[in-house]
Structure 1
Amino acid sequence: MIKFFRKIRQKLLSENKFSKYLIYAVGEIILVVIGILIALQINNSNERSKQRKVEISYLKRLLVDLNKNEILWKDTHTRRKTQVQHIQNTIALNFNKQKDTIDYIKLAENLKFAVTWNNINPTQDTFSEMLSSGNLDIIKNDSIKIKLIALNNNYTSIINWDKTSETTHKRIMQHSEGLYNAKDFAPLSPVFSEYVDIKFAKKDFENAMSALKNSISNMIDNKLVMNNLDVLSDNYHRQLSAFKKLESDVRELNDLIALEIENRADD
């Protein structure tokens, strides 16, 4: 092709047809420019196609993370609400004048659940990767980006808030350490009897029940334990609305991303 154009130029010059040569040269330049523009257009189109594929991949991964977090906030709300209920029922025992009516085994199980600590760890793998790699701007839908950033900030806030609960929980465990001794009433535990091949006598169960009552009573009578339980319960209770809001925000963002993926299916 290059040889073909060169021959034309040489022929025009040899025939002293300078005006035609000039027109031809301009035309050749235009053709070269058009070729470059077409190549750039193709290259840009390929690049946009690659970016769209990366964007859709991120959006699908975000959906996976959001689905996990929706379950997390729902389960956390349920667990914390139940813990508040158990703590308040334990505190209410101070006002129970009929101690003989208390089911100490059930109370011990409820109290154990109430003071079981669970860290809140929302799944943020995809968002963190996008943020650290500078790929957050690859998401073209501004509403999705704004909600992602806001959700991440809310996650950070609730985790920081929960650290105060963790501190209170540690104080409860420290204060109750010498008041609640599980090994004294081990025969009453179904887990203990499942793994230990020992036949307990009636007296063993009676002694274990007595030890359980003493431990529970010591905890209930201890003001430091009860005060910290009350603080923990209050913190948990105030967090419930935040968990519900997070669950709703996650679901809303989930729906928005799913719609974006659906709308981009033909891209």
Structure 2
Amino acid sequence: MEKNKTGKYFKYAIGEIILVVIGILIALSINNWNEDRKTKTYEKQVYTQIYKDIKADSLNLSLVINFYKQKDTLMNRILHDSVPSIAYDTINNKNQFTFPYGIRLITNSDNVTNTKKGYQLFKTFNTIGIESDSLSFSIEDYYSKAIINENYEEVRNATDRNIAEFQQKDWFLDLAVNHKLNLDYLDYINNSRDFKIRVFDYQLFAIKNYNRDLIQQQELAEIIKERIKNRLEK
């Protein structure tokens, strides 16, 4: 009889252990399901924010790209001696500083600023175990290019060089302070080889390099926007 009781107690204990293990497995499964749901929710929030950020970037890029495209058209006319001669007849005391073929063309610049709120969230993916895929690699590639473009200084350096040089010219004070048309200035922007060299130098950095990279960034932005949109719609 004692052996019978022992056998029953042993079977009962085994059954209790099995129930406890099943309970633990169910609890773990529910916990994993909850964690996975939270991860998916967070992932969706991050991609939604990145989509908004890149959309804003794309609009900003369009403005800066167009800014340099307009400059490129004017600079090509100067470099190829195709500025209408009548254009120089329109310059006067009031408009000489804003004259499109004057030194202002190569003494100002614009740069793009990228929105990185979503990217900051994106960088926490590794800490919560979200698996990297081709979309995440593309996002990393986009922001690596965007940050390089954001910190591009060569155009600004070119404008600084030009400003420093022009400040040494006798006509500069008339142009910048006295608002008085100086014929030497008119001759400089119309006939000077030095001015053309400076236009070419500015064009090299601003158009051939910087604006080209901005256009590539915008193209990549459109691709990623579409891929994120497809991911969110799944």
How much has 1:225 moved relative to structure 2?
A: 4.3
CA contact (8 A) 1:130 1:136 kept: no
User: Superposed, which structure 2 residues align to 1:184-203 within 5 Å?
Assistant: 184-185=178-179
Unpaired runs of 5+ residues, structure 2, are none
1:232 maps to which of 202, 209, 213: 202
Where do 4+ consecutive residues of structure 1 move more than 6 Å? none
| DSSP 3-state at the match of 2:111 | coil
Q: Which moved more, 1:110-119 or 1:40-49?
A: 110-119
CA contact (8 A) 2:39 2:130 kept: no
2:162: which partner in 1?
A: 172
Cα distance in 1 for residues equivalent to 2:199 and 2:127: 42
One-letter amino acid matched to 1:41: S
| DSSP 3-state at the match of 2:109 | coil
1:244: which partner in 2?
A: 215
Please state if 1:126 is matched with 2:118. Answer: yes
1:104: which partner in 2?
A: 91
Structure 1-normalised TM-score? 0.71
How much has 1:100 moved relative to structure 2?
A: 8.5
Alpha-carbon spacing, 1:242–1:98, altered in 2? closer, same or farther (3 Å)? closer
Structure 2-normalised TM-score? 0.80
Residues 148-199 of structure 1, C-alpha deviations (whole Å, 9 max, x = no match): 1111222244345x322221111011111244323322xxxxxxxxxxxxxx
2:225: which partner in 1?
A: 254
Alpha-carbon spacing, 1:261–1:100, altered in 2? closer, same or farther (3 Å)? closer
Identity across matched positions, percent: 18
Please state if 1:155 is matched with 2:146. Answer: yes
Unpaired runs of 5+ residues, structure 1, are 1-11, 186-207
CA contact (8 A) 2:53 2:116 kept: yes
Structure index of larger Rg: 1
The count of corresponding residues between Structure 1 and Structure 2 is: 224
Cα distance in 2 for residues equivalent to 1:140 and 1:28: 38
